[in-house]
Amino acid sequence: MFEKVLIANRGEIAVRVARACRELGIRSVAVYSTADRDSAVVRLADEAVCIGPPDSRQSYLNAAAIVEAARKTGAQAVHPGYGFLSEDPDFAEICAENGLVFIGPRPEVMAALGDKARARALLAEAGLPLPPGSMAPVGTAAEARAVADEIGHPVIIKGVAGGGGRGMTLVRSADDLGPAYERTRIAAQAAFGDDRVYLERYLTQARHVEVQVLCDGYGNGVHLGTRDCSVQRRHQKLVEEGPAPALSAATLDALAETALRGALHVGYTGAGTFEFLVDEAERFHFIEINCRLQVEHPVTEMISGVDLVHEQLHIAGGVPLRLRQEDVRLHGVAIECRVNAEDPARGFVPTPGRLTRFVPPTGPFTRVDTHGYPDYLVGPYYDSLLAKVVVWAPDRELALNRMERALHEFEVAGCGICTTIPFARRVLDDPGFRKGRYTTGLVDRLLGVPEATGDEPFPTSPARRTR
C-alpha cells in the first residue's frame, strides 16, 4: 500500500479522497490554486501545495505543476478524483514516466475508451448493444446529414473526446442539422482540443442507467449494481438513485452482467462506470464508459457497503480484488441530490458568493459530502457543486421521505447564493418520480421545456437485443 498519495483535484471529491487516505493510514497531499487557499481539503490533508492561479489551465489542469508537487512531497501515487485530468491518458502517462502511480485505468485503455467513437467499436466487439449511429467520426455536415437520414431524427451530436455531459447537441429536424454540426464541432474543439464528432439516434422517453464496476490488474472484476441518473439538466445529473427503480430483476441483472463483460473485454482496471439508455420496453443500449470515480459513487457505497475509494487505492497498489461477485450484497435504496450553487429559475446559471450560513442535515442514514462551511467563498472559477446529500433506507418510499426531510433541514444562505435544493424538492414531489417511472425529459417537463419528438425509439434487431 502507498505511504503518501497526492490528490489532484479540489472541492468535495478532494475531501472525500483525503478522508479515505487517513482511514487507511496513508498520508495525503492536497494541491490548490490561489483561489482555493482556504478550502476544506487544505486543512484536512497532511500537506498542501499551491500549484498556480485560479485559472484551472494554470493549476488543476497543469500536469507539470501537479507532478512537481508530487515529487517535491515524496508522493508515490496520484488520485485524480473526477473532472480536470481524471480521464486524461497523457496525464496518466506523464505520471508513469515520473515514477508515480496514476490511480485509474492504464493510459492506453483510457485513451481507447476516452475516444467515444473508438469505444463504441471496441464495446461492439464484446457484444454490447449500441444505439444506431456512426461507428466513426463524421467529417462533414453532409456526412452527418447522411447518417441522420439513415437512422432518423431526433439525433444527438457528440464530441468524440467529450464527457461530463458537455459537447452534445440535440437535433430535432434535418433543417437544424448543418448549423448544429458546426456548433458542436467548434464547441468540442474549444472544450477538448478535438473537433471530431459522431452521431447517435436520440432515444425519446429514455432512462439513463449506469453500472458500477471494479476490476483489478489480474483479470478479476465485479459489478456493484445499477444507478438511475435520468434527472439531468443539460445532460448533467441532479438526482441519482440505486438500484434503478421500476425495472425488472432480469433487466437489472442483464445490465450489470453486460457492463462487467465489457470491462473485462477491454482490460479495465480500477473503478469505472458503464452508461446505458433504457427504453420503455426495457431494451438497453450502451453509450459510454466513465474511466473514473463518479460524482454519484456514494449511492453505490450506501447500498453495497463497499468503499470505492478504498478499493481504488488497493487496486492501484497492486492488491488483487478483495471481492468476488458472490460477496456483493446490495441492500435497500440510496438516493443522492446534488446541491449546486445555481439558480434553476435562470437556466441553472452559477451563483457565486460567500456563504453566511451553511448547516448540512444530519440524522439516521444521512450522508453529506461537501467542502462548504460558513464564510466559504464560492468562486466563479470552477464547477458549482457545493454538496451531495445521500440517504439510505430499506425501501424506496422511506428513502424518498428521508431525502425530503434532509433537504428540508439543509440551511444554505449567502450573498448572491442560490442553490438547487428547492428544485430537488420539486423533483421528489413529482408523481412520476415518486412512482419510479421517469425519463431524461423530467427536468425539461418541470421547467416547461418541450421534450424532443421523433419516431419510435430505436428499432432493435434481434441481434442487438440483450435482455
Angle subtended by helix axes 63-73 and 89-97, to nearest 10? 30
Position 120 scores a pLDDT of 87
Q: Is 292 a catalytic residue?
A: yes
Beta sheet of 77-79, edge-to-edge order: 47-52, 27-33, 4-7, 77-79, 101-102
CB 81 within 8 Å of CB 31? no
DSSP summary character for residue 266? H
Domains of the chain and CATH, by start: 4-103 (3.40.50.20), 132-201 (3.30.1490.20), 207-447 (3.30.470.20)
Phi, psi of 133, rounded to the nearest 5 degrees: 170, -170
Which of 185, 233, 261, 292 is catalytic? The answer is: 292
Residue of 421, 420, 416, 418 whose CA lies nearest to 354: 416
Q: What is the mean pLDDT of each run of 10 residues along the chain (467 residues)?
A: 97 98 98 98 98 98 98 98 96 98 97 88 93 90 94 93 77 93 92 90 90 98 98 92 98 98 97 96 94 97 98 98 97 98 95 97 98 96 97 98 98 96 98 96 89 40 29
Rounded CA separation 160/114 (Å): 8
DSSP summary character for residue 267? T
Rounded CA separation 88/84 (Å): 8
The sign of the CA dihedral 211, 7, 28, 219 is: positive
Task: Mention every residue, 6+ apart, whose C-beta is less than 8 A from residue 284.
Answer: 129, 209, 251, 254, 255, 258, 276, 277, 278, 466
Kind plus residue range of the DSSP H or E element containing 377: strand 377-378
Angle subtended by helix axes 249-266 and 116-125, to nearest 10? 110
Q: What is the dihedral of CA 446, 132, 221, 267, to 10 degrees?
A: -130
Position 455 scores a pLDDT of 37
Identify any residues that bridge with 357 across adjacent strands, giving them in sequence order. Answer: 413
